[in-house]
């Protein structure tokens, strides 16, 4: 992809993430184009349908989360990741609005990163050895959905995570 086309694509994705976070998945692609400073045709050249644009946003978000998880580690890396993810979920509508979009490779990448955090926590003795990655992913998804739908404040997030961490403790 040419450098200018790559820059346009990144501007479109940045704008789309902002617009859809603020207004939900029903926001218009015209608003995305305006915020990105490009013509609507440019948006559709990069993302032929709105679903393609939503999938690209979700894929990028999941990749960022996987990168974040990969930078953490040790005994408390899994706990830190949970806290960050729940805090972000409580502040953004995007995750729920985009939940119907399937991007298996990005989800798999996130699952691998979370699995790595789990293994490190288990090796450090802070998480029980009978806990498996699918269970941790289910907890992550559930608590993020709860924080998002319930508009949890920081105190409720922390109390809920304390219960989860106690259940995971070795």
Task: Provide the pLDDT for residue 95.
Answer: 46
Residues 16 and 44 in one domain: yes
Q: What is the pTM of this model?
A: 0.69
CB atoms within 10 A of CB 168: 20
Task: Tell me the DSSP string of the chain.
Answer: --HHHHHHHHHHHHHHHHHHHHH-TTS-HHHHHHHHTS-HHHHHHH-SSHHHHHHHHHHHHHHHHHHHHHH--STTHHHHHHHHHHHHHHH-SHHHHTTT---HHHHHHHHHHHHHHHHHHHHHTSS-TT--HHHHHHHHHHHHHHHHHHT--HHHHHHHHHHHHHHH--
Task: Provide the pLDDT for residue 55.
Answer: 84
Closest of 69, 53, 62 to residue 11, by C-alpha: 53
How many domains would you assign to the chain? 2
Task: Provide the pLDDT for residue 90.
Answer: 66
Residues in the chain, pLDDT under 50: 95-96, 99
Residues 154 and 87 in one domain: yes
Task: Provide the pLDDT for residue 11.
Answer: 95
Residues 44 and 69 in one domain: no
Structure tokens at 91: 């502040």
Residues 78 and 162 in one domain: yes
């Amino acid at each position: 992809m040419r450098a200018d086309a790559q820059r346009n694509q990144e501007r479109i994705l940045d704008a789309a993430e902002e617009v859809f976070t603020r207004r939900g998945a029903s926001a218009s692609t015209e608003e995305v184009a305006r915020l990105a400073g490009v013509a609507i045709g440019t948006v559709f050249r990069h993302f032929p349908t709105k679903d393609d644009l939503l999938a690209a946003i979700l894929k990028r978000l999941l990749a960022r989360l996987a990168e974040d998880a990969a930078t953490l580690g040790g005994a408390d890396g899994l706990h830190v990741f949970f806290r960050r993810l729940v805090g972000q979920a409580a502040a953004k509508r995007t995750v729920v609005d985009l939940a119907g979009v399937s991007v298996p490779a990005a989800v798999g990448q996130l699952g691998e990163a979370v699995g790595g955090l789990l293994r490190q926590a288990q090796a450090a003795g802070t998480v029980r050895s009978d806990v498996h990655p699918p269970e941790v992913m289910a907890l992550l998804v559930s608590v993020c959905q709860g924080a998002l739908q319930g508009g949890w404040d920081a105190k409720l997030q922390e109390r809920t995570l304390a219960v989860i961490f106690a259940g995971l403790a070795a």
